[in-house]
Amino acid sequence: MAYTTIDDPSVYFQTATWTGSDGTDTITFDGNSDLQLDFLWSKCTSSAHSHALMDTQRITSGDYLPVFADTTDIEQTFYDSELQSITSDGFTVGTQPHAGGDGKTYVGFAWKANGGTSSASASESGSNVAYNFQVNTTSKFMINKYTGLGSDATLNLGNHFTPEWMLFKNLDQADDWVVYHHKNTSDPDTDHLHLNTNAATADEQEMFEDTNFAADEINIGTNHEVNADGEEYISYAWAQVQGYSKFGSYTGNGNADGPFVYTGFKPAWLLVKRTDSTGDWSMYSNKIGGGNPINGRLEPNNENTIATGDYNFDFLSNGFKGRDTPSQINANGGTYIYMVFAEHPFVSSEGVPTTAR
Protein backbone atom coordinates (compact mmCIF):
# COMPACT_ATOMS: atom_id res chain seq x y z
CA MET A 1 0.00 0.00 0.00
CA ALA A 2 1.17 3.54 -0.77
CA TYR A 3 1.24 6.22 1.88
CA THR A 4 1.40 9.98 1.64
CA THR A 5 4.86 11.47 1.89
CA ILE A 6 3.88 15.07 2.69
CA ASP A 7 1.03 15.63 5.14
CA ASP A 8 1.15 19.45 5.12
CA PRO A 9 1.66 20.82 1.59
CA SER A 10 1.71 24.39 2.95
CA VAL A 11 5.24 23.76 4.25
CA TYR A 12 6.45 23.72 0.64
CA PHE A 13 3.83 25.53 -1.47
CA GLN A 14 1.42 28.36 -0.72
CA THR A 15 -0.66 30.97 -2.50
CA ALA A 16 -1.08 34.56 -1.38
CA THR A 17 -3.38 37.31 -2.63
CA TRP A 18 -3.05 41.03 -1.92
CA THR A 19 -3.97 44.52 -3.00
CA GLY A 20 -1.13 46.86 -3.83
CA SER A 21 -0.62 50.29 -2.28
CA ASP A 22 1.52 53.27 -3.26
CA GLY A 23 4.42 51.92 -1.20
CA THR A 24 5.99 48.71 0.07
CA ASP A 25 3.52 45.95 0.98
CA THR A 26 4.22 43.00 3.27
CA ILE A 27 2.33 39.80 2.49
CA THR A 28 2.00 36.99 5.03
CA PHE A 29 0.96 33.47 4.12
CA ASP A 30 -2.22 32.06 5.61
CA GLY A 31 -0.90 28.52 6.00
CA ASN A 32 2.23 27.08 7.58
CA SER A 33 4.29 29.90 9.07
CA ASP A 34 7.59 28.20 8.21
CA LEU A 35 7.43 28.63 4.44
CA GLN A 36 10.36 30.84 3.45
CA LEU A 37 9.92 31.02 -0.30
CA ASP A 38 12.61 30.49 -2.93
CA PHE A 39 10.49 30.79 -6.07
CA LEU A 40 7.65 33.30 -6.52
CA TRP A 41 5.29 33.38 -9.50
CA SER A 42 3.47 36.72 -9.29
CA LYS A 43 0.59 37.97 -11.45
CA CYS A 44 -1.57 41.08 -11.38
CA THR A 45 -5.17 39.87 -11.55
CA SER A 46 -6.89 43.21 -12.16
CA SER A 47 -4.73 44.63 -14.98
CA ALA A 48 -2.89 43.23 -17.98
CA HIS A 49 0.70 42.78 -16.80
CA SER A 50 3.15 39.95 -17.39
CA HIS A 51 3.61 36.95 -15.13
CA ALA A 52 6.78 37.72 -13.11
CA LEU A 53 8.94 34.80 -11.94
CA MET A 54 11.60 35.48 -9.29
CA ASP A 55 13.82 33.21 -7.21
CA THR A 56 16.57 33.17 -4.60
CA GLN A 57 19.10 31.59 -6.99
CA ARG A 58 19.25 34.78 -9.07
CA ILE A 59 20.04 37.68 -6.74
CA THR A 60 22.01 40.54 -8.27
CA SER A 61 23.25 43.30 -5.95
CA GLY A 62 20.55 42.31 -3.49
CA ASP A 63 17.77 42.40 -6.10
CA TYR A 64 15.47 39.53 -7.06
CA LEU A 65 15.28 39.98 -10.82
CA PRO A 66 12.12 38.82 -12.64
CA VAL A 67 11.74 36.95 -15.88
CA PHE A 68 8.36 37.08 -17.57
CA ALA A 69 6.55 33.80 -18.37
CA ASP A 70 4.51 35.22 -21.25
CA THR A 71 7.39 36.81 -23.17
CA THR A 72 10.81 35.96 -24.56
CA ASP A 73 12.34 38.88 -22.64
CA ILE A 74 15.68 38.53 -20.90
CA GLU A 75 16.11 38.83 -17.14
CA GLN A 76 14.70 42.21 -16.12
CA THR A 77 16.97 44.70 -14.34
CA PHE A 78 14.50 47.57 -14.73
CA TYR A 79 11.96 45.85 -12.47
CA ASP A 80 14.46 45.12 -9.70
CA SER A 81 12.10 46.20 -6.92
CA GLU A 82 9.22 43.81 -7.71
CA LEU A 83 10.18 41.45 -4.88
CA GLN A 84 12.02 43.44 -2.22
CA SER A 85 12.60 40.96 0.58
CA ILE A 86 11.64 37.50 1.81
CA THR A 87 10.55 36.77 5.37
CA SER A 88 10.15 33.50 7.24
CA ASP A 89 6.42 33.47 6.47
CA GLY A 90 5.92 35.81 3.52
CA PHE A 91 7.52 38.56 1.45
CA THR A 92 7.47 42.26 0.65
CA VAL A 93 6.86 43.87 -2.73
CA GLY A 94 7.36 47.35 -4.11
CA THR A 95 5.36 49.46 -6.54
CA GLN A 96 6.39 47.86 -9.83
CA PRO A 97 3.26 46.72 -11.72
CA HIS A 98 3.89 42.95 -11.77
CA ALA A 99 3.83 42.57 -7.97
CA GLY A 100 2.67 45.88 -6.53
CA GLY A 101 0.68 48.92 -7.57
CA ASP A 102 -1.84 51.18 -5.91
CA GLY A 103 -5.30 49.58 -5.86
CA LYS A 104 -4.37 46.64 -8.10
CA THR A 105 -4.96 43.06 -7.00
CA TYR A 106 -2.35 40.30 -7.18
CA VAL A 107 -1.78 36.62 -6.66
CA GLY A 108 1.55 34.99 -5.83
CA PHE A 109 2.40 31.28 -5.97
CA ALA A 110 5.36 30.40 -3.76
CA TRP A 111 7.57 27.31 -3.58
CA LYS A 112 10.23 26.49 -1.02
CA ALA A 113 13.63 25.05 -2.05
CA ASN A 114 16.66 25.36 0.23
CA GLY A 115 16.28 28.80 1.77
CA GLY A 116 18.40 30.49 -0.86
CA THR A 117 21.41 28.35 0.07
CA SER A 118 23.31 26.58 -2.68
CA SER A 119 23.19 22.79 -2.49
CA ALA A 120 25.94 22.20 -5.06
CA SER A 121 27.95 24.03 -7.70
CA ALA A 122 30.74 23.36 -10.16
CA SER A 123 32.72 25.09 -12.88
CA GLU A 124 32.61 24.07 -16.53
CA SER A 125 34.48 20.83 -17.15
CA GLY A 126 34.59 19.08 -20.50
CA SER A 127 31.00 18.57 -21.63
CA ASN A 128 29.64 19.43 -18.18
CA VAL A 129 28.19 22.93 -17.92
CA ALA A 130 28.94 25.23 -14.98
CA TYR A 131 26.02 25.12 -12.57
CA ASN A 132 24.81 26.25 -9.16
CA PHE A 133 21.63 24.72 -7.75
CA GLN A 134 19.57 24.53 -4.61
CA VAL A 135 17.25 21.61 -3.99
CA ASN A 136 14.57 20.46 -1.57
CA THR A 137 14.72 16.68 -1.50
CA THR A 138 11.43 16.29 0.38
CA SER A 139 9.25 18.28 -2.01
CA LYS A 140 11.51 17.40 -4.98
CA PHE A 141 12.02 20.91 -6.27
CA MET A 142 15.25 22.31 -7.72
CA ILE A 143 16.35 25.74 -8.97
CA ASN A 144 19.42 25.43 -11.17
CA LYS A 145 21.33 28.32 -12.74
CA TYR A 146 23.82 27.24 -15.37
CA THR A 147 26.04 28.56 -18.16
CA GLY A 148 25.66 27.15 -21.67
CA LEU A 149 28.45 25.52 -23.67
CA GLY A 150 27.09 25.78 -27.21
CA SER A 151 27.85 22.09 -27.82
CA ASP A 152 26.17 18.92 -26.62
CA ALA A 153 26.45 18.98 -22.85
CA THR A 154 25.24 17.59 -19.53
CA LEU A 155 23.55 19.49 -16.72
CA ASN A 156 24.26 18.07 -13.26
CA LEU A 157 21.26 17.44 -10.99
CA GLY A 158 23.11 15.93 -8.04
CA ASN A 159 21.32 12.55 -8.21
CA HIS A 160 18.44 13.88 -6.08
CA PHE A 161 15.45 13.02 -8.31
CA THR A 162 14.55 12.50 -11.95
CA PRO A 163 12.66 15.59 -13.16
CA GLU A 164 9.10 15.10 -14.34
CA TRP A 165 8.41 18.77 -15.09
CA MET A 166 11.03 21.37 -15.99
CA LEU A 167 11.10 24.99 -17.15
CA PHE A 168 14.13 26.53 -18.90
CA LYS A 169 14.81 30.19 -19.78
CA ASN A 170 17.76 31.94 -21.37
CA LEU A 171 18.46 34.96 -19.15
CA ASP A 172 20.70 36.77 -21.64
CA GLN A 173 18.83 36.49 -24.93
CA ALA A 174 15.21 36.80 -26.09
CA ASP A 175 14.48 33.07 -26.39
CA ASP A 176 11.28 31.14 -25.77
CA TRP A 177 10.71 29.34 -22.49
CA VAL A 178 11.20 25.59 -22.86
CA VAL A 179 8.94 23.14 -21.04
CA TYR A 180 9.71 19.46 -20.44
CA HIS A 181 6.98 17.16 -19.11
CA HIS A 182 7.41 13.43 -18.61
CA LYS A 183 3.91 12.69 -19.95
CA ASN A 184 4.05 15.08 -22.89
CA THR A 185 4.11 12.22 -25.41
CA SER A 186 4.98 8.52 -25.38
CA ASP A 187 8.60 9.58 -25.89
CA PRO A 188 8.77 12.84 -23.88
CA ASP A 189 12.54 13.27 -23.97
CA THR A 190 12.34 14.04 -27.68
CA ASP A 191 9.67 16.70 -27.32
CA HIS A 192 9.02 20.06 -25.70
CA LEU A 193 6.52 22.88 -25.32
CA HIS A 194 6.94 26.63 -24.96
CA LEU A 195 5.47 28.32 -21.88
CA ASN A 196 5.12 31.70 -23.58
CA THR A 197 3.15 30.45 -26.61
CA ASN A 198 0.03 28.39 -27.30
CA ALA A 199 1.86 26.04 -29.68
CA ALA A 200 1.42 22.27 -29.65
CA THR A 201 4.22 19.89 -28.78
CA ALA A 202 7.32 20.16 -30.96
CA ASP A 203 10.04 17.59 -31.67
CA GLU A 204 13.61 18.93 -31.63
CA GLN A 205 16.54 16.57 -31.20
CA GLU A 206 18.91 19.38 -30.29
CA MET A 207 16.83 20.33 -27.28
CA PHE A 208 17.50 17.30 -25.06
CA GLU A 209 19.47 15.09 -27.48
CA ASP A 210 16.58 12.59 -27.51
CA THR A 211 17.90 10.93 -24.36
CA ASN A 212 16.08 9.91 -21.21
CA PHE A 213 16.15 12.23 -18.22
CA ALA A 214 17.88 10.85 -15.13
CA ALA A 215 18.41 11.82 -11.50
CA ASP A 216 22.14 12.50 -11.82
CA GLU A 217 22.08 14.62 -14.98
CA ILE A 218 20.21 15.49 -18.15
CA ASN A 219 21.53 16.01 -21.64
CA ILE A 220 21.04 19.33 -23.38
CA GLY A 221 21.71 19.82 -27.06
CA THR A 222 22.80 22.83 -29.05
CA ASN A 223 19.43 24.55 -29.28
CA HIS A 224 19.94 28.19 -28.30
CA GLU A 225 16.95 28.10 -25.96
CA VAL A 226 18.75 25.75 -23.55
CA ASN A 227 22.47 25.84 -24.37
CA ALA A 228 24.23 28.75 -26.08
CA ASP A 229 27.92 29.30 -25.45
CA GLY A 230 28.58 31.51 -22.43
CA GLU A 231 24.95 32.49 -21.88
CA GLU A 232 23.20 32.21 -18.52
CA TYR A 233 20.11 30.04 -17.98
CA ILE A 234 17.69 29.30 -15.18
CA SER A 235 15.83 26.02 -14.83
CA TYR A 236 13.13 24.93 -12.41
CA ALA A 237 12.58 21.20 -11.89
CA TRP A 238 9.99 19.16 -10.01
CA ALA A 239 9.17 15.50 -9.46
CA GLN A 240 5.87 14.37 -8.02
CA VAL A 241 5.45 13.59 -4.33
CA GLN A 242 2.50 11.66 -2.99
CA GLY A 243 0.08 13.87 -1.11
CA TYR A 244 1.70 17.04 -2.49
CA SER A 245 2.17 17.13 -6.27
CA LYS A 246 1.40 15.24 -9.44
CA PHE A 247 2.37 15.70 -13.10
CA GLY A 248 0.39 13.61 -15.56
CA SER A 249 -1.85 13.59 -18.61
CA TYR A 250 -5.47 13.00 -19.53
CA THR A 251 -7.60 12.62 -22.65
CA GLY A 252 -10.54 14.96 -23.16
CA ASN A 253 -14.08 13.73 -23.82
CA GLY A 254 -15.70 16.90 -25.17
CA ASN A 255 -18.44 16.60 -22.55
CA ALA A 256 -19.51 18.94 -19.76
CA ASP A 257 -19.16 15.87 -17.54
CA GLY A 258 -15.42 15.92 -18.17
CA PRO A 259 -12.74 13.40 -17.25
CA PHE A 260 -11.92 12.91 -13.58
CA VAL A 261 -8.19 12.94 -12.75
CA TYR A 262 -7.20 11.21 -9.52
CA THR A 263 -4.39 12.93 -7.62
CA GLY A 264 -4.75 11.62 -4.06
CA PHE A 265 -5.22 15.14 -2.71
CA LYS A 266 -7.40 18.22 -3.02
CA PRO A 267 -5.77 20.60 -5.51
CA ALA A 268 -4.72 24.12 -4.62
CA TRP A 269 -3.10 24.97 -7.98
CA LEU A 270 -3.53 23.45 -11.43
CA LEU A 271 -1.85 24.12 -14.78
CA VAL A 272 -3.19 22.47 -17.96
CA LYS A 273 -1.93 22.50 -21.58
CA ARG A 274 -3.23 20.79 -24.70
CA THR A 275 -0.32 19.06 -26.41
CA ASP A 276 -1.69 17.66 -29.69
CA SER A 277 -2.95 21.03 -30.93
CA THR A 278 -2.64 24.72 -30.22
CA GLY A 279 -4.25 26.04 -27.06
CA ASP A 280 -3.43 28.54 -24.35
CA TRP A 281 -2.00 27.39 -21.04
CA SER A 282 -4.70 27.40 -18.34
CA MET A 283 -3.84 28.06 -14.69
CA TYR A 284 -6.31 27.63 -11.83
CA SER A 285 -6.09 28.36 -8.11
CA ASN A 286 -8.38 27.86 -5.13
CA LYS A 287 -7.52 31.45 -4.12
CA ILE A 288 -8.71 33.27 -7.22
CA GLY A 289 -11.36 31.15 -8.94
CA GLY A 290 -14.15 31.21 -6.39
CA GLY A 291 -15.84 28.03 -5.17
CA ASN A 292 -16.43 24.90 -7.20
CA PRO A 293 -16.45 24.82 -10.06
CA ILE A 294 -13.34 27.01 -10.26
CA ASN A 295 -14.57 29.73 -12.61
CA GLY A 296 -11.51 31.83 -13.29
CA ARG A 297 -8.15 31.15 -14.87
CA LEU A 298 -4.88 32.80 -15.75
CA GLU A 299 -2.97 32.04 -18.94
CA PRO A 300 0.82 31.97 -18.48
CA ASN A 301 1.38 32.71 -22.18
CA ASN A 302 -0.77 35.86 -21.93
CA GLU A 303 -0.65 38.97 -19.74
CA ASN A 304 -4.46 38.98 -19.46
CA THR A 305 -6.39 39.47 -16.23
CA ILE A 306 -8.45 36.62 -14.77
CA ALA A 307 -10.60 35.08 -17.49
CA THR A 308 -13.97 33.52 -16.73
CA GLY A 309 -16.41 31.49 -18.76
CA ASP A 310 -16.69 27.93 -19.98
CA TYR A 311 -13.30 26.65 -18.85
CA ASN A 312 -14.20 25.30 -15.42
CA PHE A 313 -12.78 22.57 -13.19
CA ASP A 314 -14.03 21.10 -9.94
CA PHE A 315 -11.36 20.77 -7.24
CA LEU A 316 -12.35 17.60 -5.37
CA SER A 317 -10.99 15.96 -2.24
CA ASN A 318 -8.96 13.46 -4.25
CA GLY A 319 -8.50 15.04 -7.68
CA PHE A 320 -10.03 17.37 -10.25
CA LYS A 321 -12.72 17.10 -12.91
CA GLY A 322 -13.41 19.10 -16.05
CA ARG A 323 -16.83 20.74 -16.24
CA ASP A 324 -16.74 22.37 -19.69
CA THR A 325 -15.95 21.55 -23.31
CA PRO A 326 -13.54 24.15 -24.82
CA SER A 327 -10.71 22.57 -26.80
CA GLN A 328 -8.24 24.39 -24.56
CA ILE A 329 -9.09 21.99 -21.70
CA ASN A 330 -11.43 19.23 -22.91
CA ALA A 331 -11.71 18.49 -26.62
CA ASN A 332 -13.01 15.05 -27.47
CA GLY A 333 -9.90 12.90 -27.94
CA GLY A 334 -7.56 15.83 -27.21
CA THR A 335 -4.44 15.11 -25.17
CA TYR A 336 -3.43 17.27 -22.22
CA ILE A 337 -0.70 17.51 -19.63
CA TYR A 338 -1.26 18.84 -16.14
CA MET A 339 0.78 20.01 -13.16
CA VAL A 340 -1.02 20.16 -9.81
CA PHE A 341 -0.08 20.97 -6.20
CA ALA A 342 -2.09 20.09 -3.11
CA GLU A 343 -4.19 22.03 -0.68
CA HIS A 344 -4.19 18.99 1.57
CA PRO A 345 -3.85 15.20 1.11
CA PHE A 346 -6.89 12.96 0.75
CA VAL A 347 -5.75 11.30 3.99
CA SER A 348 -2.73 11.61 6.28
CA SER A 349 0.26 9.30 6.17
CA GLU A 350 -0.29 7.93 9.66
CA GLY A 351 -0.93 4.36 8.71
CA VAL A 352 -3.75 5.04 6.26
CA PRO A 353 -3.37 4.25 2.53
CA THR A 354 -3.97 7.11 0.12
CA THR A 355 -5.82 4.90 -2.36
CA ALA A 356 -9.47 4.23 -1.75
CA ARG A 357 -10.39 0.72 -0.67
Q: Indicate whether 3 pLDDT > 70.
A: no
Q: What distance lies between CA 180 and its chain's CA centroid?
A: 11
Nearest Cα to Cα of residue 169 among 64, 74, 77: 74
Fold of 9-111: Immunoglobulin-like (2.60.40)
C-alpha closest to that of 315 among 238, 248, 262, 255: 262
The Cα angle at residue 319 between residues 215 and 283, in degrees rounded to 5: 75
Predicted confidence (pLDDT) at residue 197 exceeds the cutoff of 70: yes
pLDDT band at 348 (very low <50, low <70, confident <90, very high): low
pLDDT tens across 247-302, in order? 999 999 999 999 999 999 999 999 999 999 999 999 999 999 888 999 899 999 99
Span 5-25, average pLDDT: 93
Residue-averaged pLDDT of the chain: 93
- Is the separation of the CB atoms in 354 and 338 below 8 Å? no
Percent of the chain with pLDDT over 90: 84
Going from N- to C-terminal start, the domains of the chain cover: 9-111, 120-238, 258-345
For 72-130, write each residue's pLDDT tens digit. 999 998 887 799 999 999 999 998 899 888 899 999 999 999 999 999 999 999 999 99
Choice between 335 and 345, residue whose per-residue pLDDT is larger: 335
CA atoms within 13 Å, Cβ hemisphere of 254: 4
Residue 120 and residue 156 in contact, taking contact as beta carbons nearer than 8 Å: yes
